[in-house]
Amino acid sequence: MTRSPRLVCPVPEEQQPLNEFAELKEAWLLSWAALPGRDLAIKLLWIWVWSWLLTGPVSAASFPLKKDLLHFLLGAGGGATLPVLLVLARVYSAWGYVGRRLFSEKIIYEESGWYDGQVWEKVPEMLAQDRLVATYEVKPALDRLVRLTIALGGSLGLGALLWVLL
């Protein structure tokens, strides 16, 4: 009878990459990366809309609505995009970290604290399973986040260009 690779693994359960991935998919904000593109875009749109509560008044104080409506809209819209970009950066960071741990041949872990780091080389079966998850679940999520970030960056760039042209 062969033992499961996970049973031979000395890495604590909560530090095993596959378990970290499962936690990531359950976390409220971080799980958004696993959503289909449309659902993720809707959640990010909500952040953008709520960010207007802060950026709208600031922009209105700088650019009176009656005199400079376009600058008001560009300023408030651009400012409201920054929290969305911060959320995308946070989600990308977490998924990238777990993805690298899943794809890596070795797991760096701590037995009891920061001062006693250990390294364990994954057995081939565990490495294959982890790499499948990294390839078919983590990478598509990261690619979706990158595309959204590029689209938002492009919209900020177009807004800045329009600002200059006005």
In a domain, 156, yes or no: yes
pTM: 0.90
The length of the chain in residues reads 166
In a domain, 75, yes or no: yes
In this predicted structure, what is the pLDDT of residue 5? 60
In a domain, 7, yes or no: no
In this predicted structure, what is the pLDDT of residue 83? 97
For residues 135 and 39, is the Cβ–Cβ distance under 8 A? no
Strand, helix or coil at 121? strand
In a domain, 43, yes or no: yes
Question: Distance between CA atoms of 86 and 90, rounded to whole angstroms?
Answer: 6
Question: Distance between CA atoms of 52 and 67, rounded to whole angstroms?
Answer: 20
Name the pLDDT band for 28 (thresholds 50, 70, 90): very high
For residues 52 and 80, is the Cβ–Cβ distance under 8 A? yes
The mean pLDDT value for 51-77 works out to 95
133: left (phi over 0), alpha (psi -120 to 50) or beta: alpha
The mean pLDDT value for 99-120 works out to 88
H or E, element range at 38:
helix 37-62
Tokens of 76: 């408030």
Domain count, the chain: 1
The range of the structural domain enclosing residue 99 comes to 12-165
Name the pLDDT band for 102 (thresholds 50, 70, 90): very high
